[in-house]
């Protein structure tokens, strides 16, 4: 068990109780985290006043709001609308003190790209979990462009020095990473010339979509099995009105709970259905899930829909490695669902899970084992041996990982015996409304 919770606070354990009746209702989940981070950063780099509706007000995103404010682009809230007073590309200023990113890997890595194009020195720090996570993959290309780091290491805390004379580069991603791609493209806005990122496998394209929405010249070309994304430097971004769609990674827990609890029928409104984020829904449908996308539409350059899910009998499937980038955050909850499926569910290509908030692969397998579900980890593959039902009764070590906590609090709504997670404090980093929304649908949790 974790000895202390998030930020050193006492742990906040919670127990999920088997639902007595089906989960029912129509609701919305908070705004997408990836898009919320980018809206704040691009608003800061734009000229003029950007307004944002639906911003995810979780700790990770609020830390990004504090960061852009510290860099001279104030992010403020009035009613349900956030406003960022942009300073233009290259226009941010030296902060007066270190910037604390809390638990946010996305905020940290993308902000390195923002800082890279400015003649400023910034001390970046984070919590214990973030300070263990590797930054080398994003620092390597940014150093090629001209970013300097004072310390001889690739983990926080780090002091980084930007430059107004960045060099454009062409960079082939060694492993799929939307965060690394995004940091390079953001820095490329402030370099003289064209900066290109080459991907072997497609990753989330929120940065490209939103940069275009803000007026940047971004080209995407697919040929010979590769994707080349090029941003033209010396860019000028114009302030925009942004509506943040519902986060599909948050919606995933509600959808999965409905699939597992007999008699359930729920609708989650206004969810992002960008194809680089919908791998979980593709997989669940392969397993036999009754899921449908209704009222499909587009807002702010992103596709959204209302997602309807009903209780379903599920079969084990093979999830190919090339689907991993489109569902990397959803593997813990998929593993929880797979425990209730008939037969084996094999998930390939999970190397990225080992460097998330925890070693998510090991933590997921251990949580399954603690609740009577056989699972095998073979290299970067997880195989869940589903038996149609889950015994439960165990306590899950979350290792300060919000998605591990929420995955097993979802599993416990349908397991024979209750499931306890050792801490829930860190859920606030991404989905503070998790428990409240689950209980509105009919879930039961006990402290």
Q: Let me know if 217 is a catalytic residue.
A: no
The strand ranges marked E within 162-225 are 170-172, 194-199, 218-223
Residue 361: partners with Cβ closer than 8 Å, 6 or more residues away: 331, 350, 353, 354, 377, 380, 382
Nearest to 90 by CA among 222, 191, 175: 191
**Which pairs count as long-range contacts for 288-295, CB under 8 Å and 24+ apart, including other chains?**
288/312, 288/313, 288/314, 288/315, 289/259, 289/314, 290/259, 291/255, 291/259, 294/267
CA angle, 187 then 193 then 195, to 5° = 50
Half-sphere exposure of 326 (CA within 13 A, CB side): 19
Nearest to 84 by CA among 138, 142, 42: 42
Cβ–Cβ under 8 Å, residues 99 and 67 = yes
Any idea what DSSP says for residue 422?
S
Nearest to 70 by CA among 3, 121, 32, 11: 121
**Phi, psi values for residue 281, rounded to 5°:** -65, -35
Cβ–Cβ under 8 Å, residues 135 and 155 = yes
Residue by residue, DSSP assigns 337-365 as HHTTSEEEEEE---GGGGGSSS-HHHHHH
For residue 121, count CB atoms less than 10 angstroms from its CB and return exposed for 0-12, middle for 13-18, buried for 19 or more. Answer: middle
What is the CB neighbour count within 10 angstroms for residue 172? 12
Nearest to 250 by CA among 397, 437, 40: 437
Of the residues 60, 329, 401, 423, only one is catalytic, namely 329
Active site residues: 329
């Amino acid at each position: 068990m974790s000895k202390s919770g998030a930020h050193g606070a006492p742990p906040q354990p919670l127990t999920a109780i088997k639902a007595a009746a089906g989960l029912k209702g129509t609701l919305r989940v908070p705004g997408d985290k990836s898009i919320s981070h980018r809206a704040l950063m691009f608003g800061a780099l734009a000229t003029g006043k950007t307004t944002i509706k639906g911003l995810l007000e979780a700790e990770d995103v609020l830390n990004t709001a504090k960061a852009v404010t510290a860099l001279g682009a104030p992010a403020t809230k009035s009613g349900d609308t956030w406003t960022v007073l942009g300073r233009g590309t290259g226009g941010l200023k030296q902060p007066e003190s270190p910037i604390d990113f809390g638990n946010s890997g996305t905020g940290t890595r993308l902000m390195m790209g923002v800082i890279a194009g400015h003649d400023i020195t910034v001390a970046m720090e984070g919590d214990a979990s973030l300070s263990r996570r590797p930054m080398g993959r994003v620092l390597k290309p940014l150093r090629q462009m001209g970013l300097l780091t004072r310390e001889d290491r690739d983990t926080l805390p780090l002091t980084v020095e930007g430059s107004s004379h960045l060099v454009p580069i062409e960079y082939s991603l060694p492993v799929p990473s939307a965060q690394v791609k995004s940091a390079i493209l953001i820095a490329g806005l402030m370099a003289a010339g064209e900066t290109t990122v080459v991907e072997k496998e497609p990753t989330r394209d929120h940065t490209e979509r939103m940069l275009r929405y803000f007026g940047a010249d971004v080209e995407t070309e697919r040929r010979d099995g590769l994707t080349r994304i090029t941003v033209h430097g010396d860019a000028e971004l114009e302030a925009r009105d942004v509506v943040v769609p519902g986060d599909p990674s948050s919606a995933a827990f509600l959808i999965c709970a409905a699939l597992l609890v007999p008699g359930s029928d729920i609708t989650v409104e206004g969810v992002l259905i960008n194809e680089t984020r919908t791998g979980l829904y593709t997989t669940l449908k392969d397993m036999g899930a009754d899921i449908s996308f209704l009222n499909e539409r587009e807002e702010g350059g992103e596709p959204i829909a209302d997602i309807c899910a009903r209780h379903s009998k599920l079969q084990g499937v093979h999830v190919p490695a090339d689907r991993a980038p489109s569902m990397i955050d959803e593997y813990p909850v998929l593993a929880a669902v797979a425990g209730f499926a008939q037969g084996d569910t094999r998930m390939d290509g999970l190397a990225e899970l080992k460097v998330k908030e925890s070693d998510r692969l090991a933590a997921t397998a251990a949580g399954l084992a603690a609740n009577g579900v056989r699972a095998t980890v073979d290299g970067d593959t997880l195989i869940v041996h589903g038996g149609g039902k889950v015994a439960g009764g165990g306590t899950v070590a979350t290792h300060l990982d919000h998605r591990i906590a929420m995955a097993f609090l979802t599993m416990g709504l349908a397991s024979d015996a209750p499931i306890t997670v050792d801490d829930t404090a860190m859920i606030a980093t991404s989905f503070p409304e998790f428990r409240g929304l689950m209980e509105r649908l009919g879930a039961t949790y006990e402290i």
